Structure 1
Amino acid sequence: MGAENWAGISSTIASLFFLYNMVKDHIPFQVSDYVAAVVHKVFSFFKPYVDITIQEYHGDGEYFKRDELYIAAQAYLSSTCSSRASKLKAELGEDSDTPLVTIDNNEGVPDSFRGVQVWWYACTESSNSQTFSFYPIQNKRKYYSLAFHKRHRNLIEGEYLKYILEQGRNVMLRRRKRRLFTNSPRNDWDGSVWSQVAFEHPATFDTVAMDPKKKSEIIDDLVTFREGKEYYKKIGKAWKRGYLLYGPPGTGKSSLIAAIANFMEYDVYDLELTAVKNNTDLRKIFIDTTGKSIIVIEDIDCSLDLTGNRKEKKKEKDHKKMLPDMEEKDESSKLTLSGLLNFIDGLWSACGGERIVIFTTNHLEKLDPALIRRGRMDMHIELSHCTFEAFKVLAKNYLGVDKHDLFDTIKTLLREVDISPADVAEGLMLKNSRNKDVGICLENLIRVIEVATEEANKKAKEELAAKQKEDKSKHKLSWKRRN
């Protein structure tokens, strides 16, 4: 069929549509719906494309709110399609300190999904609504129009829009201001059980002083977890990971938590168990956390009575003369080990997904084995005293050097004494802003290590003398009993 014929058909169809609009009000209502359906089918035959509109706001009256799909589409277009646009605009979101650059109004960009071509258009329309609202939508309403061929309708509606929502959420999570939360015994004025501040801890895996091999193992485990959504679903486990950090004070447990949060780009929930009244409150607190977060319980051996001597305590309790109703009331008003275990890997642990739970302790031997078994605390990470490899990281961070003539002396000294990375870092700190000589700082560290060595030797001698005195006393007592 020639172009002349197509032009004639198009002109005829346009005339019919014009005629229908003129006479539709005079058509009996019994047949108007049927005529409208026929007209729509004819129009669809000659227009093979479908348009989906995504409004910026939805709701009625004064209760408008921004549509989540619109926000996700805006973030997706910013990260994927904005490079193809000639007109751009920049906006600063209320929960971000990074401008969002995306396509400007009345601009269109193409995109493809599984080989299917689609077109996005940023549109505005005037609004004559006089309804009072707190949202800025009275004059101009913004929306996205998504156009595609009608034969791909099932793919676009069933998969592409879900893909846009997921990808857009990921972009927003990466851009958002990350937060540090803490719980309190009393709810905030808005009903929230968490208070928050901006999370701005600068620690990274590059600055954490620990064995490089162990550091690499942790990073690999975190990457595997982050990319394991489908794997966890396949094996029937909640998408969470538990880490137990243990070691003497000053070995960098808090810095490692901050490094993990910065690496994963997660929020941090610092859970204070002593502020939780009972198991029910713990569940409420957990419900108010979000995915892509780290729940931290520091010094867990000091937070609750979680030591491993439950049998002995039960016997002591059985000997107490207490009325049954008093005993039941006492137990129901406390946070228990059982409640904490359900919080970690019970039914409630699957709510939200993509969470990391981190416990820290200075005394691993005091914790109940049920609390730290594999499956609850999946990875046990020992943070020991400062090694030479950890010292080199600190020297690079604090002094900006990779090698020095004094490194061999420090290496020898570190083999002879147990000293925490925190003490080594303090020894490397500049004591005078006008004197930034690397050698002076390293010499100061050597003196710190030597003092620590002397104190350790003195303590060891005192302990040995005390033990010898005790053994001598026991021997004398035993001799008296035999005679």
Structure 2
Amino acid sequence: MMMMGKTWAEMGSSIAGLMFVLATLQQFFPHQLRTTLQEFLLAKLQQLSFVQKWSDRMVSFFSPHICITFPEFCGYQYNEAFTAIETYLSFKSSSKAKQLKASLVKDFKSLVLVVDENDIADEFNGFKLWWTLSVPKTQAVYNEEMSYYKLTFHRHQREIITKQYLNYVLEEAKEIQARNSQRKLYTNNPSGSWNGYKRRYMWSHIVFEHPATFQTLAMDPKKKEEIINDLIAFSKGKEYYAKIGKAWKRGYLLYGPPGTGKSTMIAAMANLLNYDVYDLELTTIRDNTELRRLLMETSRKSIIVLEDIDCSLDLTGRRKKMKEKMEDKETDPTKAGLTENEETSKVTLSGLLNFIDGIWSACGSERVIVFTTNHKEKLDPALIRRGRMDMHIEMSYCKFEAFKVLAKNYLDVESHNLFGKIKGLLEESNMVPADVAENLMSKSDIKDVESCLENLVQSLERDIKQKAKLKSEKNVFRPRHKFSYWVKFRNKIPTSSRMSTV
């Protein structure tokens, strides 16, 4: 008892001494100084390793919960788990959330409701879980603060959550995306408008609603069937590409005159495979690094399109041309006569090839790469060789088989007494499918098959006459008088060297 009384007396003395010190500090030290000293001491204590370990143990001892974080980005690549969680929570938890966001989607009869709150509760096998979305106050920059989902659950549920629940979330997200999938058409924003490396700022998109299919595509049926079989084999070829040691990608070169259906072919590919389309504009990209970032942010099951590749950038000759101009002027680029693209864009042929067929080509799977051009002969052979552009598809002038597809599409006819005449005219003319379709399109509400076909016959006859006229003008030989050649030759001779005529 005496010992206990002594202990209590010592404790009381210590508390009294502490109270005296605190009273003295409050009396002689201003409030701001006391606050600063407290913050300084706490900061120093937190830097000590044993203090951090002790605090972590205390938190884990008193808190029975475990947290798993799912960041929006993992290195260079977008974290697909983040998208899956976002999809799952938006559609599966909308019935439980207190705050919802409504939007009217095209072709939907009612409003679409999605979650519009950062904290969402979920339940799995009788267990309670909590999802929290953390969004930075300012737009994230690469390797700095970024958005992430945090999953919180009781530590006794670790096995069930990590082995069952997370797989359940991913599978549910896939099914939701499949049921509500809408193909998208993406285009790259100018690099100056990027805010960090976020996909939403690098690419803008709209819903892809092009109705073109291979059934409505004006092309020879045998060639069409060959392309369809190649696309389907590619989409099912994951194991085959892994077996032969190649990246799961396929390249298509579409070449031919304007109006032959190259863009329509791309739309038909997207609708057949159910892939998104990325329309890549090279002239807005500064250098190869930005090109790589853009291509790395394209999704799986996508078609990457570079239309008019011969006009997008002078990938082979621009460097030489720029060097020559700068050597002539040795001043600023504007005086050297360089265009805006030549001043800013440094995308090179090697940079483009490195992604199509180099090491970086293996960083994305199930991608179709399509080049289009009106002049195949202008392209660098290294750009279109086999293995990069695996299939070269010529989109040529309209022939009879392609015409029959257009007649079925526009006029709902499969045979007519003018078909024989049209077949002969198509063999002689160079009319593209777009011009044929324009003649078959009715100009009134009443579909007059006879007049539409007559208009096409007249247009074909005019085209043949024009073609023959141009050919005759090229073959005309125009002799020149011998005296005119002598005058030109004589004028080039200096006056002092001319011989006088007798």
1:449-460 paired onto structure 2 within 5 Å:
449-460=460-471
Distance 2:481 2:264 in 1: 46
Q: Figure out how many residues of one structure are paired with residues of the other and give that number.
A: 352
Residue segments in structure 2 that go unaligned for 5+ positions in a row: 1-67, 71-80, 93-101, 110-115, 127-158, 334-341, 491-502
Distance 1:236 1:94 in 2: 46
Tell me, yes or no, if structure 1 residue 268 matches structure 2 residue 274.
no
Distance 1:93 1:319 in 2: 54
Distance 1:255 1:383 in 2: 11
Q: Given the superposition, is the C-alpha separation of residues 331 and 428 from structure 1 closer, same or farther in structure 2, using an over 3 Å criterion? A: closer
State the Cα distance separating 1:457 from its structure 2 match: 1.2
Per-residue CA distance 1:363-391 (angstroms, 9 max, x = gap): 00010000001111111000100010000
Q: State the match for 2:59 in structure 1.
A: none
Q: State the match for 2:219 in structure 1.
A: 210
Per-residue CA distance 1:212-270 (angstroms, 9 max, x = gap): 11111111111111001111122221111110000011100000000001111111111
Q: State the match for 2:193 in structure 1.
A: 187
Instruction: State whether residues 71 and 168 of structure 1, in contact with CA within 8 Å, keep that contact through their aligned partners in structure 2.
Output: yes
Per-residue CA distance 1:116-138 (angstroms, 9 max, x = gap): xxxxxxxxxxxxxxxxx92574x
Instruction: State whether residues 239 and 355 of structure 1, in contact with CA within 8 Å, keep that contact through their aligned partners in structure 2.
Output: yes
Instruction: State whether residues 98 and 175 of structure 1, in contact with CA within 8 Å, keep that contact through their aligned partners in structure 2.
Output: no
State the Cα distance separating 1:171 from its structure 2 match: 6.2
The aligned amino acid for 2:467 is A
Q: Given the superposition, is the C-alpha separation of residues 188 and 302 from structure 1 closer, same or farther in structure 2, using an over 3 Å criterion? A: same
Identify which of 390, 403, 411 aligns with 2:402: 390
CA root-mean-square deviation: 4.4
State the Cα distance separating 1:317 from its structure 2 match: 5.2
Distance 1:93 1:472 in 2: 79
Per-residue CA distance 1:10-56 (angstroms, 9 max, x = gap): xxxxxxxxxxxxxxxxxxxxxxxxxxxxxxxxxxxxxxxxxxxxxxx
- 1:385 is paired with a residue whose SS is coil
Instruction: State whether residues 388 and 411 of structure 1, in contact with CA within 8 Å, keep that contact through their aligned partners in structure 2.
Output: yes
Q: State the match for 2:183 in structure 1.
A: 178
Identify which of 68, 84, 105 aligns with 1:68: 84
Q: State the match for 2:208 in structure 1.
A: 199
Distance 2:364 2:103 in 1: 24
State the Cα distance separating 1:351 from its structure 2 match: 2.1
The aligned amino acid for 2:456 is L
Instruction: State whether residues 70 and 143 of structure 1, in contact with CA within 8 Å, keep that contact through their aligned partners in structure 2.
Output: no
Tell me, yes or no, if structure 1 residue 443 matches structure 2 residue 454.
yes
Identify which of 301, 306, 324 aligns with 1:297: 306
Q: State the match for 2:294 in structure 1.
A: 285
State the Cα distance separating 1:97 from its structure 2 match: 6.6
Residue segments in structure 1 that go unaligned for 5+ positions in a row: 1-56, 60-64, 77-91, 100-132, 147-153
Instruction: State whether residues 97 and 177 of structure 1, in contact with CA within 8 Å, keep that contact through their aligned partners in structure 2.
Output: no
Q: Given the superposition, is the C-alpha separation of residues 70 and 298 from structure 1 closer, same or farther in structure 2, using an over 3 Å criterion? A: closer
State the Cα distance separating 1:169 from its structure 2 match: 2.4
The aligned amino acid for 1:176 is S
1:9-408 paired onto structure 2 within 5 Å:
68=84, 134-135=117-118, 137=120, 141-145=121-125, 165=170, 169=174, 172-173=177-178, 175-185=180-190, 186-187=192-193, 192-306=201-315, 313=320, 320=327, 334-408=346-420
The aligned amino acid for 1:452 is D
Instruction: State whether residues 355 and 361 of structure 2, in contact with CA within 8 Å, keep that contact through their aligned partners in structure 1.
Output: yes
State the Cα distance separating 1:455 from its structure 2 match: 1.2
Distance 2:480 2:363 in 1: 57
Q: Given the superposition, is the C-alpha separation of residues 445 and 333 from structure 1 closer, same or farther in structure 2, using an over 3 Å criterion? A: closer
% identity of equivalent residues: 54
- 2:205 is paired with a residue whose SS is strand
Distance 1:424 1:208 in 2: 13
Per-residue CA distance 1:175-218 (angstroms, 9 max, x = gap): 31211111132325676111111111111111110011111111
* TM-score for the superposition, normalised by structure 2: 0.60
The aligned amino acid for 1:432 is S
Q: Given the superposition, is the C-alpha separation of residues 144 and 221 from structure 1 closer, same or farther in structure 2, using an over 3 Å criterion? A: farther
Q: Given the superposition, is the C-alpha separation of residues 73 and 314 from structure 1 closer, same or farther in structure 2, using an over 3 Å criterion? A: closer
Instruction: State whether residues 248 and 366 of structure 2, in contact with CA within 8 Å, keep that contact through their aligned partners in structure 1.
Output: yes
Distance 2:249 2:261 in 1: 23
